[in-house]
Each structure stands twice: as C-alpha cells, then as structure tokens.
Amino acid sequence: MTDRQGTTAVITGGGRGFGAAFGAALAEQGAHVVLVDIDETAAHEAAAAIRDAGGSADGLTGDVTDETRMGEVMTRAAGTHGGLDLLINNAGLHSDAYSRPITEMGAAKVRRLFDVNVHGVIATTLAAVPYLRDRPGANIVNISSAAAYLGGTAYGTSKLAVVGLTVTFARELGPLGIRVNAIAPGMILTETIATELSPETRAGVKRMQFLDTDGGEADIVDAVLFLSGAGARFVTGETLRVTGGMAAGV
C-alpha cells in the first residue's frame, strides 16, 4: 500500500509501544515517519527497524514539554516533504504510579503528569500547526484513554483533558484545513500491560467490557490508520473509544 506516499507523519513517544507500531504501519503505507522520544536510543532503534523493513524513518530525541525543542523537531521533520501531514500525540505518562487518586499523589507528581499528558499535547500541536495548515488531508490524532471516562485517578483526569483539547483544537484548526481526533484505548494487552496488571485486575477490567475478547495493539493501529486517512475526511473533534465497550456511554 502506498496511499501515503509523499506524506510525513510525526509521532511522539515513537520509540516503543504504540508509537513504534504506529510508525511501522504508516511507513508500510508509504509515509515518511519521524519518531520523537525522550529516549534517544529508543527513537533511533525504532527508526532503524522501519528502515530495515524498507520504510522511511528518522528518530529524533525530544521532550514534549520543551516548546523550543518541539519547534526544532517540527521544522526538521517538515523539511522532508515541505510540510507535515499527520501528528500523533502519543507521548504520555501512564504507569501505575500515576493511576492513583490525586490526594495520594500530591501536587508535584500531578503537575508532572499534566505537564506531559496535557501541556505536551498543546506544545507539540502548536509547534506543528504552521507545517500542517493548508496541506490536503492534514490531521492530528491524540491518544487519550478509557480511563478518561471512568474517573478516580489523576491519569484519567489528564486523559479527559486530552478529550477536551481534541474538541478545542478541532474547532480552532478546522478553518486551516486540519482535522483533530483522538483515540481512547481500553485494556490493550501489550507486553507492558500484560506484565504490569495482575490477573485479577485484568479479569476485573474484562468484566466491564461488552465483548468477551482481548484487545490488541493492532486494534489501536487500525483505529489510527482510519482516523488519519481519507476515509475519515469528514470526521473531526471526535474521540474513538476502542475499549470493547468498557467505556461506552451517552
């Protein structure tokens, strides 16, 4: 598939996990992908893996809370094809340490969480907009979480803010021809999640689903490919919940 030939996608948190998987899938469809990660080694290794598979990729180091660095990253990424076509705001803090009530975490840890998960989305989006505007099909996909709809943790609250930012940026950037959507993954059994969650926790979450099946990384990759593609050209301001029904609501 080469329907993304001549396009450039920037993926934050691109060195591993979902970010690396998004990069591999987009490169397979012909995009040049720029994987941005605070872990320089991870970013370069993920990009090298894509190149080894025949794709086009660069790995860059960068902290999404650093506005100056995000500006440099977007300028460099845009140089490949004269602009940007897709930004995936995937970087975020999500370990068990942040999935706790705010009263347990304290102000300093909550501030760090919101700096990355919320301000990071703002900083990278603002840095990318000059290169996304007026590019046919240009769009942004933010990665939220099912936790946004469940309440009870600082992490969930930060991801609820991402849902709100998705609507706000969709409204503001629509006149520039930029679509903005989000994905809220449920329990996706990546290697990390399978290790972090106890069997009891996994069983409890699964009981909340409407579907008695496990979500996989490919489900989130497919959702990104849909929302960022031409098939979603009239979709903006939406958050697609990929949760097996766990976070369903009206």
Q: Is residue 1 part of a domain?
A: no
Domains of the chain: total? 1
Q: What is the pLDDT of residue 170?
A: 98
- Tell me which H or E stretch contains 181: strand 179-185
- Whole-model pTM: value is 0.96
Q: Is residue 28 part of a domain?
A: yes
Q: Is residue 203 part of a domain?
A: yes
Per-residue model confidence as pLDDT tens digits over 88-125: 999 999 877 888 888 989 999 999 999 999 999 999 99
Q: Is residue 232 part of a domain?
A: yes
For residues 138 and 142, give the distance between their C-alpha atoms in angstroms, rounded to a whole number.
Answer: 14
Q: Is residue 2 part of a domain?
A: no
For residues 140 and 133, give the distance between their C-alpha atoms in angstroms, rounded to a whole number.
Answer: 11
Structure tokens at 23: 């990069």
Per-residue model confidence as pLDDT tens digits over 178-229: 999 999 999 998 877 777 778 888 888 899 999 999 999 999 999 999 999 9
The domain in which residue 172 lies consists of: 8-239
pLDDT-derived band at 50, boundaries 50, 70, 90: very high
- Write out the DSSP string of 124-155: HHHHHHHHHTT-TT-EEEEE--GGGGT-SSHH
Q: Is residue 73 part of a domain?
A: yes
Per-residue model confidence as pLDDT tens digits over 118-176: 999 999 999 999 999 999 999 999 999 999 999 878 999 999 999 999 999 999 999 99
Q: Is residue 249 part of a domain?
A: no
Q: What is the CATH number of the domain that holds 43?
A: 3.40.50.720
Handedness of CA 75, 76, 78, 79 (dihedral sign): positive
Q: Is residue 19 part of a domain?
A: yes
According to DSSP, the β-strands at 86-89 and 239-242 are unpaired
In the residue annotation, 149 being an active-site residue is answered as no
Exactly one of 98, 131, 149, 155 is catalytic; name it.
Answer: 155
Q: What is the pLDDT of residue 202?
A: 86
